[in-house]
Amino acid sequence: MKQKYLDIFAREAEEHLQILRKGLLALEKEDFSAERIHELLRSGHTLKGSARLVGLEELGQVAHLIEDIFKSLETGERSINPELIDVLFLGTDAVEALIAQAHSAGDISVNVEQVLTALETGAMPESKSVSNAQVQESSDHIELETVRTSVVKLDQLVNLMGEILISQRLFNERGRNLRGLMGRIETFMGGLRKAENYCTVKEILDNFSQLSAELDRDTVQLEYLVRELHGSAMELRMLPLSAITEDLEVMARSLAREQGKNLQLDIIGKEVELDRMMLESLKPMLLHMLRNAVDHGLESPEERQRAKKTPVGRIELTARYELGLVRLVMRDDGNGIDPVIIRQIAQERGVISAEEARLMSDEEAVYLILRPGFSTREFITDVSGRGVGMDVVKSNIDRVKGNLVIHSTPGQGTEMILHLPLTMAVINSLAIDCEGETYAVPLHYVTEILRLREEDIFTQGAREVVRVRDRMLPLFDLATLLGIPHRASANRLQRITVMVLNFREQQVAFTISESYGTQELVAKNLGKQLKRVRFFSGATILADGTPALIMSVPDLFTASIQGSGTQLRKDFASHREKNKKGNLLVVDDSITTRTMEKNILETHGFSVTLAVSGEDALEKLRSGKFDLMISDVEMPGISGFELTRRVRSMENTQDLPVIIVSSLASDEHRRTGIEVGAQAYIVKGKFDQGALLETVDALIG
């Protein structure tokens, strides 16, 4: 623990040392003012205070004397002279050396006595070196083992690695193609008559096989290496949580002290590693959440006593890995968030209407603190406020594709659970198809994928909902929300795939075209030209090198609040209706056949129009709209073949499916039937209703 405070102190001291040295240099150039002296005095004073806090007594003494000198300069008791400036420089060197000493655990000795004397007398000692340490050098030494590089370069590295992965997959593909070709050669070989030829081809083929096997082996090896390399490149961007926790602790402690509150802050899981960019986004979030917890959550010791709580308030921040994500929990035993007050404030600030406030559950109400416009300067003290509120936290979470859950018990405390991907660079995602395009959905938003049947869909109010494990979830069509046109597809309703997404404890179901399964994908931004695109947070590159857009789940949820739901029940109904009305034209000169066919088809839900001849049929085709025609061949006037030929040549009927039903059973007749453009030929002899219905269903079902 002590080391941690020392680190914090060292960083603070470094700042003050810089101020002091800069100030002294200015004084040396006789550029001084009362403000400047006062600034230096304050630095000396802060150093003194902080040094004593971390138990560095000698350093405190040195700082104290430095402060005294500036005080006497400020009051005019003393005037500045070059020697005094030297003495002050000596003092700052001593401070630096003492910090190094504290770090090195005794390897560095500092001649404090000499420095103190010099500061007291204002006269430089004989020996000008304050310590045996080469302070500068010791800090350089650490630098040697690390290399600083820009994130841009790392990104480039990761990009190129991703491209290599793609080419490597193409190698796999080529290998497969090669094996396919070899199969063809083998088949060809079987037909070779001359033994000599056979042997030659066989030999070539054997060489081929060997080469192909070697290629496969090399490709596997390459794949393994490239994956390793890709992983290493990704890891370059990871840093432990401890990189940001110190600042959090300093802030929370000083804030608690200022407000006269007793705080015990425990941070568990500092070793958890996150993407550097992720940490950068996380820091302001955590700072804000922590500030809120200390400022609004934690009570004063008196209040705590009245509430029969321990005088010391506890805030615990825990980080751990969970299913490829990082789970951060910030828990305090403070006052909690009162949903009644929150509702009232939100209503006063116009964040929600009175009606909305009334309908909102207590669990929902606590999330109001995340809405823009909720926290304002008046409400939040200068500490947490700064003109922005928890909506900063929200927008940051959305950006890093995180999920925040808030639980609060008034009087007992608040728990905020934050799920974050480990990195912003790689996301575990579900690849889905929506109307022919592939999209990626960050996996931690996905609850499940289901197939939907008509009976799973219900109507609640004007909206459609779907029953998933006894819960009714609102149902939306993804393509409609995104504004993508639907492709015409006859069997859309036969296989409805639904993706259930969760966001802040809400679940919503979205219909999609297909789900392709999960993949680890490298997330990229859409470039400087597409700065912010509604519904998409970025893009990734699929195995074949094609880009795919990454869905912004928060955007989808926002849109679903205003968007209109699906109309699947209506679609199902009209689909049935359409099926029922499947309009058929039956052409036959025999009344028996006509009537029989009509009865069979009508009992199976088709609507049937009859024609007594080819000419009659053409007339009816001109005036009505049909989905299929069933025709006899031998009729007075034009034959069924001629009729079919004419149907094919007319613009409005050229795609009309035609079934020929005839007693002519020869292959010659069948061929003619197909040549003139009929889709099916049924021989009357073996005519049974099953064959006819099957054929009709196959053609227009």
Question: Which residues in this chain contact another protein in the complex, by CB under 8 A?
Answer: 158-160, 162-163, 437-438, 482-484, 524-536, 538-539, 541, 544-549
Neighbouring C-alpha atoms within 13 Å toward the C-beta of 84: 15
- Are 627 and 582 in contact, with CB atoms under 8 Å apart? yes
Going from the C-alpha of 192 to that of each of 180, 301, 357, 575, the distances in angstroms are 19, 98, 85, 56
**Closer of 158 and 397 to another protein (Cβ):** 158
**Closer of 411 and 545 to another protein (Cβ):** 545
Three-class DSSP category at 396: helix
Q: How far is the CB of 227 from another protein (least distance, A)?
A: 16
Give the contacts of 291 (CB within 8 A, at least 6 positions apart).
251, 252, 255, 383, 384
Q: How many beta carbons lie within 10 A of that of residue 503, not counting itself?
A: 17
- Pairing between β-strand 583-587 and β-strand 607-611 as defined by DSSP bridges: parallel
**135 exposed, middle or buried (CB, 10 Å; 0-12, 13-18, 19+)?**
middle
**Closer of 303 and 437 to another protein (Cβ):** 437
Q: How far is the CB of 346 from another protein (least distance, A)?
A: 22
**Closer of 367 and 439 to another protein (Cβ):** 439
Query: Shortest CA distance to 136 belongs to which of 106, 108, 105?
Result: 108
**Closer of 445 and 535 to another protein (Cβ):** 535
**Closer of 529 and 623 to another protein (Cβ):** 529
**Closer of 190 and 485 to another protein (Cβ):** 485
Query: Shortest CA distance to 78 belongs to which of 119, 35, 20?
Result: 119
**Closer of 405 and 484 to another protein (Cβ):** 484
Three-class DSSP category at 93: helix
**Closer of 269 and 538 to another protein (Cβ):** 538
Q: How far is the CB of 422 from another protein (least distance, A)?
A: 21
Q: Tokens 């103190």 appear where?
A: 116
Report the distance separating Cα 384 and Cα 386, nearest Å. Answer: 6
Q: How far is the CB of 364 from another protein (least distance, A)?
A: 24
Q: How far is the CB of 526 from another protein (least distance, A)?
A: 5
- Are 510 and 592 in contact, with CB atoms under 8 Å apart? no
Q: How far is the CB of 393 from another protein (least distance, A)?
A: 20
Q: How far is the CB of 541 from another protein (least distance, A)?
A: 5
- Are 282 and 244 in contact, with CB atoms under 8 Å apart? yes
CA dihedral 92, 94, 96, 97 (to 10 degrees): 160
Q: How far is the CB of 395 from another protein (least distance, A)?
A: 13
Q: Which contiguous run of DSSP H or E holds residue 414?
A: strand 413-421
CA dihedral 57, 63, 67, 73 (to 10 degrees): 140
Give the contacts of 307 (CB within 8 A, at least 6 positions apart).
299, 411
Query: Shortest CA distance to 461 belongs to which of 474, 476, 470?
Result: 474
Q: How far is the CB of 531 from another protein (least distance, A)?
A: 5
Give the contacts of 292 (CB within 8 A, at least 6 positions apart).
384, 390
Q: How far is the CB of 161 from another protein (least distance, A)?
A: 8
**Closer of 535 and 557 to another protein (Cβ):** 535
What 8-state DSSP symbol labels residue 110? Answer: B
Query: Shortest CA distance to 437 belongs to which of 512, 342, 495, 335?
Result: 512
**Closer of 131 and 560 to another protein (Cβ):** 560
- Are 532 and 453 in contact, with CB atoms under 8 Å apart? no
Q: How far is the CB of 497 from another protein (least distance, A)?
A: 19
Q: How far is the CB of 544 from another protein (least distance, A)?
A: 8
What 8-state DSSP symbol labels residue 636? Answer: S
**Closer of 512 and 628 to another protein (Cβ):** 512
Q: Tokens 């083929």 appear where?
A: 205
**439 exposed, middle or buried (CB, 10 Å; 0-12, 13-18, 19+)?**
buried
Give the contacts of 298 (CB within 8 A, at least 6 positions apart).
256, 259, 261, 263, 313, 315, 332, 334, 335
DSSP assignment of 307-351 equals: TT--SSEEEEEEEEEETTEEEEEEEE-S----HHHHHHHHHHTTS
**Closer of 546 and 652 to another protein (Cβ):** 546
- Are 542 and 509 in contact, with CB atoms under 8 Å apart? no
**Closer of 460 and 546 to another protein (Cβ):** 546
Structure tokens at 379: 């409400």
Q: How far is the CB of 232 from another protein (least distance, A)?
A: 17
Q: How far is the CB of 436 from another protein (least distance, A)?
A: 10
**Closer of 306 and 534 to another protein (Cβ):** 534
**Closer of 376 and 525 to another protein (Cβ):** 525
Q: How far is the CB of 236 from another protein (least distance, A)?
A: 16
Report the distance separating Cα 462 and Cα 465, nearest Å. Answer: 10
Q: How far is the CB of 156 from another protein (least distance, A)?
A: 8
Q: Which contiguous run of DSSP H or E holds residue 670?
A: helix 667-675
Give the contacts of 217 (CB within 8 A, at least 6 positions apart).
none
